[in-house]
């Protein structure tokens, strides 16, 4: 009984070593390639998927070449987009565009809304102070400006002082 098991282990080891040596053969040597990777016809006469040297199933629809100069087949030709659906369009925000200020997740564009009498040089120091704190969602007074979340679509936050106001919009 023990002798049969030893023989079986020795035979398996020899077969494994032979397969390993065959796999290490010269890439130009066609005799070292296994014929077990070819598909065998089924009862209807059509080829069925075989398996590769590792025993994994081979996809019959998989490309059959690894030639880097092979011609690629282009995908479908789609027409150019002619319009953006309203649900995906960015809102149009009127006002004077200033520089950017850091927001909680990146740069935000600062826009001075019409109706006031301030310039970018006046609002940017306030924007740079309040911008990183927008995510708190709290109202805050910065240098006399009352800043907080905005109710205007597309404007994340708004700062107001008298008749002047500016806001933060995503870039």
Provide the residue-wise pLDDT of the chain in tens; the chain has 171 residues: 555 565 655 566 666 655 555 555 554 444 444 444 444 444 444 444 455 555 556 666 666 667 778 777 777 887 877 777 777 766 678 889 999 999 988 899 999 999 888 999 999 999 999 999 999 999 999 999 999 999 988 899 999 999 999 999 987
CA end-to-end span of the chain: 78
Name the β-bridge partners of 168: 110, 157
* 11's tokens: 């035979």
Per-residue pLDDT at 94: 87
CA dihedral angle for residue 140, residue 144, residue 146, residue 152, rounded to 10 degrees: -130
* 35's tokens: 């014929």
How many Å apart are CA 35 and CA 42, to the nearest integer?
A: 17
Per-residue pLDDT at 41: 46
CA dihedral angle for residue 37, residue 41, residue 42, residue 47, rounded to 10 degrees: 70
Model confidence, pTM: 0.49
CB-based contact 159:147 (threshold 8 Å): yes
Per-residue pLDDT at 7: 62
* 168's tokens: 């933060």
């Amino acid at each position: 009984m023990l002798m049969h098991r030893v023989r079986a282990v020795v035979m398996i080891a020899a077969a494994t070593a032979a397969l390993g040596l065959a796999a290490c053969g010269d890439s130009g040597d066609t005799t070292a390639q296994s014929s077990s990777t070819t598909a065998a016809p089924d009862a209807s006469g059509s080829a069925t998927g075989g398996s590769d040297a590792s025993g994994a199933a081979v996809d019959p629809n998989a490309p059959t070449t690894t030639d880097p100069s092979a011609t690629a087949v282009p995908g479908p030709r789609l027409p150019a987009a002619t319009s953006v659906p309203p649900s995906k369009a960015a809102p149009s925000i009127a006002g004077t565009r200033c520089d950017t200020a850091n927001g909680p997740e990146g740069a935000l564009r600062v826009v001075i809304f019409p109706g006031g009498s301030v310039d970018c040089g006046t609002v940017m120091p306030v924007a740079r102070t309040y911008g990183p704190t927008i995510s708190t969602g709290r109202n805050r007074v910065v240098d006399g400006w009352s800043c907080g979340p905005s109710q205007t679509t597309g404007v994340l936050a708004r700062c107001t002082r008298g008749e002047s106001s500016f806001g933060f919009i995503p870039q």
